[in-house]
Structure 1
Amino acid sequence: MPVHAQSPRAASSSSAASAGFSEKALRRIDDHLQRVYVGPGKLAGTQTLVYRRGQIAYRSSLGHADRERNVPIKDDTIFRIYSMTKPITSVALMMLFEEGRVQLDDPVAKYIPEWANLGVFQAGVAPAFLTKPPARPMQVVDLLRHTSGLTYGFQSRTNVDAAYREKGIGAFEKAGTLDSWIADLARIPLEFSPGEAWNYSVSTDVVGYIVQKISGMPFEQFVKQRILDPLGMADTDFYVPTAKAHRLAACYSADGKGGMQLSDDPTTSSFLAPPDLISGGGGLVSTIDDYLTFCCALLNGGELDGVRLLGPKTLKLMTTNHLPGNRDLTEMSRSMFSEATNAGIGFGLGFAVNMNPAQTLLPGSVGEYYWGGAASTAFWIDPAEELITIFMTQLLPSSAYPIRRELRTLVYGAMTESNV
């Protein structure tokens, strides 16, 4: 059943107790982040928001958005959310699904004819690949759940992802256009037959391309007109306009020695201009309040403040495990990297899904869904507990520190009342 989430613009910060938390225990979040990460210089700054039962139970900002210029993190700081773009892109496609304009079992070649003869890698290096036909054609559902056979170049695992790196497909520094990516991918084989395995990939970028093809409008225009503007997410976009440039956080890279170095200066960042490549897999910037608005619409069964993105049954379909045989990621993943740990975790249509909290070795709920971004941002939605947690920071890679796991323990450990 949908939870009747209150709009973040109407919700006020409440006492922790009224949201079912211990205020003292919630303060452990900042204590931990300051002691372990911000104080020692592992992270420049952090922003954390915990929303429950229609109220903001906890929010905090620590440290700097831009350490070099001594700019503190503020409520309106703009962050690169990278792969937290993926749920928004997935919702965009499912809006078209509800309109009867696409089906989950449609062959992808229906929308990308040049992919009709994509083979599966057997041997060789680009451009002289030896391939075999896939066991079945790639379907739209394979793109949404990352069982497409596509990959990311940074996996650095096979000759296929080496070909991605050579073409710049899926790189952080976006090169080319969606059209050029699609053309290049037509000449690179799949890593495996669709549906055979799970591999984190550029699949969601392809979802954005399909949204563009079906809707007849540029993908970024569809997202703005159908999702961002109706929800009032005014600070979420594929670039930061000049008037807001001072609010963009710096992005850092872990140096492997417990420190960090500047990797994307906010005064010269490529995010300051409209990109040629509109990445549905990782192109958006946002604020913590904007992303909370999106999450509230999901928690509320697809609707917020009279704006309905999806029906509750569609959202339920998206947040159910779609891995073949109801397997989890430990059984299906070939990925060297993902934004999720694997045990007890399945994958839906744009989200990781908690199937078995005991196997994750973390507190949580069956049916909780989530994802994160490359710069260590994260969110999760727990419908059973009427809970949303969002974490913002800017450190590459997201695997540098176990912040997400620690944050789950801290948030759930602060609960004084459980709904289940």
Structure 2
Amino acid sequence: MSVSDLRSLLEAHVADGSLPGAVGLVARGEDVECAAVGSLDTSGTAPMARDSLFRIASITKPVTAAATMMLIEEGPLGLDAPVARWLPELAAPMVVRTPSSPVDDVVPADRPVTVADLLTFRAGYGFPADFSLPAVAPLFSELKQGPPHPGQVAAPDEWTAILARIPLLHQPGEAWLYHTCSDILGVLVARASGQPFDEFLAERVFAPLGMRDTAFAVPREQRHRFTSSYRAGPDGGAPELVDAPDGQWSSPPAFPSGGGGLVSTVDDVHAFGRMLLAEGAYEGGRLLRPESVRQMTTDHLTARQREEATLFLEGQGWGFGGSVDVTHRDPWNVPGRYGWIGGTGTAAHVVPATGTVTVLLTQRELTGPTPPQVMRDFWTYAATRR
């Protein structure tokens, strides 16, 4: 899609009925282009605005990784330390004999799960390309993994006890598996800091960066800014409502999900991206050391692990909490680009080589791991914008 400006690009996707609305931002330094188009919901209740609130889903993951790195810098956590020190429930994990084995055909883990295993998604917990494997089913049925439903997930201690009864799909360090490690990191940060995860993020991450609208729930007085969330209708029909402003994000959840629980705005996500581009610095202080940001934004996977994770990563690598482009394959695919996408229809990346932050927030759930056309069009526009 060839367009002259961001607004035209987003309006085209709203006009074809695929999106009720969207907010996009492309920034290079102080040069910021932002456009808000469409409506907060399919009824046209109110126009979309720059400060509209969205469920950002897995864009939460880089935030969780940054919080973990803060505690590694400060000492409570160690990158190579076994997590059992803070999560004793995971002190003796069992692993299914083969990925296709029944959940009761298990062997002991070869070694302890470490903090680094969780950050790189190689702890043995999470989703593979084949969702039909027996050991994957408990992630959905017992842990309530999958599309975010904060009202359905158990509190952290209970959740971790449930996790301990589910075998690993692979030995620690062996394979990249999606999602679950970020939720475990949220519990780990809470226990290592002695502070509930949501409070830690609010005090230590959001307040310093000025992310005043980012949280795990939306208070009543701000719900007029909160978008409704939709999924694709049957046979390409009208979008179906998944969650309304007074739905599952209307009260603080029992389990603040480090994998996908946050609500935010385009400017708040931009603030987090600026911090990463500045190697941990922000106006008035420093959230992370430069070396910590470089660890977050560097690919840690082997070639085989990247290949096995193609369903999710499309050949990309994985840093801490986000993907890392390792080849220049598409117009928007630049080696070193770091970030991730959210299943509720969101995406956020930083491109250190060009000093760029890109943020796209929509209300339409993804139908699978493959990014939708609006994201690809947005990335291409951002990469070619002058």
Q: Distance in 2 between matches of 1:101 and 1:280?
A: 19
Q: Distance in 2 between matches of 1:55 and 1:413?
A: 15
User: Of the candidates 197, 208, 218, which is equivalent to residue 219 of structure 1?
Assistant: 197
User: Of the candidates 98, 101, 106, which is equivalent to residue 76 of structure 2?
Assistant: 101
1:329 Cα offset (Å): 5.2
1:55 Cα offset (Å): 2.3
Matched, 1:303 2:281: yes
Q: Distance in 2 between matches of 1:215 and 1:26?
A: 47
Could you tell me which amino acid in structure 1 is paired with residue 199 of structure 2?
A: Q
| DSSP-derived class of the 2:249 partner | helix
Matched, 1:84 2:62: no
User: Of the candidates 154, 157, 180, which is equivalent to residue 179 of structure 1?
Assistant: 157
| DSSP-derived class of the 1:194 partner | coil
What TM-score comes out, normalization by structure 1 length? 0.85
User: Of the candidates 338, 342, 345, which is equivalent to residue 314 of structure 2?
Assistant: 342
Could you tell me which amino acid in structure 2 is paired with residue 382 of structure 1?
A: V
1:243 Cα offset (Å): 0.9
1:124 Cα offset (Å): 5.9
1:7 aligned residue: none
| DSSP-derived class of the 2:11 partner | helix
1:274-313 maps to which residues of 2 (within 5 A)?
274-313=252-291
Q: Distance in 2 between matches of 1:329 and 1:164?
A: 21
1:406 aligned residue: 377
1:38-117 maps to which residues of 2 (within 5 A)?
38-56=14-32, 58-117=33-92
1:256 Cα offset (Å): 4.9
Q: Distance in 1 between matches of 2:330 and 2:37?
A: 28
Mark the runs of 5 or more structure 1 residues left unpaired by the alignment.
Answer: 1-24, 416-420
Farther-moved stretch of structure 1 (312-321 vs 396-405): 396-405
Mark the runs of 5 or more structure 2 residues left unpaired by the alignment.
Answer: none
Matched, 1:351 2:326: no
8 Å Cα contact 1:153/1:162 also seen in 2: no
1:361 Cα offset (Å): 2.9
Q: 1:329 and 1:117, CA in 2 relative to 1: closer, same or farther beyond 3 A?
A: closer
Deviations 1:253-290 (A, max 9, x none): 01253344333342431101111111111111001011
Q: Distance in 2 between matches of 1:248 and 1:153?
A: 33
Q: Distance in 1 between matches of 2:35 and 2:362?
A: 12
8 Å Cα contact 1:318/1:349 also seen in 2: yes
RMSD of equivalent CA atoms: 2.1
Q: Distance in 1 between matches of 2:304 and 2:105?
A: 31
Q: 1:380 and 1:256, CA in 2 relative to 1: closer, same or farther beyond 3 A?
A: farther
User: Of the candidates 292, 297, 302, which is equivalent to residue 314 of structure 1?
Assistant: 292
Could you tell me which amino acid in structure 2 is paired with residue 280 of structure 1?
A: G
1:152 Cα offset (Å): 4.5
8 Å Cα contact 1:86/1:350 also seen in 2: yes
Matched, 1:33 2:5: no
| DSSP-derived class of the 1:385 partner | coil
| DSSP-derived class of the 1:38 partner | helix
Identity of aligned residues (%): 34
| DSSP-derived class of the 2:224 partner | helix
Q: Distance in 2 between matches of 1:117 and 1:167?
A: 20
Q: Distance in 2 between matches of 1:260 and 1:108?
A: 46
Q: Distance in 2 between matches of 1:212 and 1:306?
A: 26
What TM-score comes out, normalization by structure 2 length? 0.92
